[in-house]
């Protein structure tokens, strides 16, 4: 990881507040500012907001970035911002709350947010640019693709596969060994006992 510990958050909506809360539990990063395409205020909570076009003009140092844009119905905006800034040479550290548990036998790629109370157990693999939200569980041998959102309180049991760009709603339980394809939307409070094909929507 780069020695520069400043971090920029892309986006200034509700999910950015969750990002700020997690970063503030750590001593690793200092939030420099939030970056957004359109801004209606100069500050967000206690942090400065910079227009994205201005940020791209003055930002010569390739510092750390976290995508602070939420994902429910569509992951495309999060994915596009990740690809854009990755191609420009920015660094995407994993941001893991001090109140989360991540097994030393798990593997996370880059740019993931692991929120308060989340549990990631042994032999779990998480792709890039995912949200592992508050109080969620990824049990052993589960594989999560890129740009996924595992919502608050979701329980993903052992050996589950979840394809890229998929959303799992709050409180949903996924039975062990289930395979869920890419670009799926799984609503809140469900129990998933059967495999789901890519581009499925279950409410």
Which domains are seen in the chain, by residue range? 6-87 (3.40.50.720)
| pTM of structure | 0.94
For residue 138, the model assigns a pLDDT of 98
CA separation for the pair 50, 160 (Å, rounded): 40
pLDDT band at 43 (very low <50, low <70, confident <90, very high): confident
- Model confidence pLDDT, tens digit, residues 109-144: 999 999 999 999 999 999 999 999 999 999 999 999
For residue 42, the model assigns a pLDDT of 77
Task: Answer yes or no: is pLDDT of 1 > 70.
Answer: no
Contacts of 148 (CB under 8 A, 6+ apart): 75, 127, 130, 131, 162, 164, 165, 166, 167, 168
Task: Answer yes or no: is pLDDT of 193 > 90.
Answer: yes
| Cα 43 from chain centroid (whole Å) | 23
The helix/strand/coil state of 43 is: strand
Going 49 to 128 to 115 to 80, the CA torsion angle's sign is positive
- Model confidence pLDDT, tens digit, residues 60-100: 567 899 999 998 778 999 999 999 999 988 999 999 999 99
For residue 200, the model assigns a pLDDT of 97
């Amino acid at each position: 990881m780069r020695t520069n510990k400043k971090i920029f958050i892309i986006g200034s909506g509700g999910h950015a507040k969750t990002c700020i809360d997690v970063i503030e539990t750590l001593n690793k990063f200092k939030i420099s500012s939030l970056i957004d395409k359109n801004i209606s205020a100069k500050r967000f909570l206690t942090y400065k907001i910079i227009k994205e076009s201005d940020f791209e003009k003055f930002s010569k140092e390739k510092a750390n970035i976290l995508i602070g844009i939420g994902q429910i119905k569509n992951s495309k905006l999060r994915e596009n911002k990740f690809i854009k800034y990755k191609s420009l040479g920015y660094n995407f550290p994993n941001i893991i709350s001090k109140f989360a548990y991540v097994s030393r036998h798990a593997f996370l790629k880059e740019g993931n947010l692991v929120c308060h109370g989340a549990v990631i157990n042994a032999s779990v693999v998480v792709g890039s640019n995912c949200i592992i939200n508050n109080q969620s569980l990824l049990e052993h041998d589960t594989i999560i693709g890129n740009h996924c959102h595992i919502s608050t309180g979701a329980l993903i049991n052992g050996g589950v596969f979840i394809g890229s760009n998929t959303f799992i709603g709050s409180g949903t339980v996924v039975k062990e060994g289930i395979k869920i394809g890419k670009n799926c939307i799984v609503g809140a409070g469900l129990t998933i006992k059967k495999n789901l094909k890519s581009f499925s929507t279950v409410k």
